[in-house]
Amino acid sequence: MKLLSRSPAFLFLTHNLRAVSYTHLDVYKRQIEHCRIPVIAGIWPLVSARNAEFMKNELRVSVPDEILNRMAKAASPEAAREEGVAIAREMLAAVRERVQGAQISAPQGRYSSAVDVLEALGSKRLPSV
């Protein structure tokens, strides 16, 4: 997990949440709970297998083989975008009760991907900060 910003108001973790075990997130939150600051999850929907490999190899994000394999199986660019959105939705659902908010990125300026991820929430809202 990479710390992007720390202030008296919030703690923001980068999109590396995609790759860490949620157990690690829980441990990390226990370590900082005395600070009484909200944790915001940053989630980046992947757009292709190449994007996932770049994140892993160049940016040193820990991307599990399972995620790489899922992205590699996409038969077209649109299928890859849909799989990336599905993975991001799974991540959001998994961290939803563990964080105080989420920032969903719009990869390559495709705001529709961010909206598609958020639509998985339905009428329920993330806990407000």
Residue pLDDT, tens place only, 30-89: 888 888 888 888 888 999 999 999 988 998 887 889 999 999 999 999 999 999 999 999
Q: State the pLDDT at residue 67.
A: 92
Structural domain tally of the chain? 1
Residue 64 included in any domain: yes
- Rounded CA gap, 85 and 99, in Å? 20
More confident residue, 127 or 112: 112
Q: What CATH number is given to the structural domain containing 72?
A: 3.20.20.220
Beta strands, E only, the chain: 3-6, 11-13, 39-43, 101-104
- Rounded CA gap, 92 and 126, in Å? 10
Q: Which residues contact 24 (CB under 8 A, 6 or more apart)?
A: 1
More confident residue, 15 or 56: 56
| 107, pLDDT greater than 90 | no
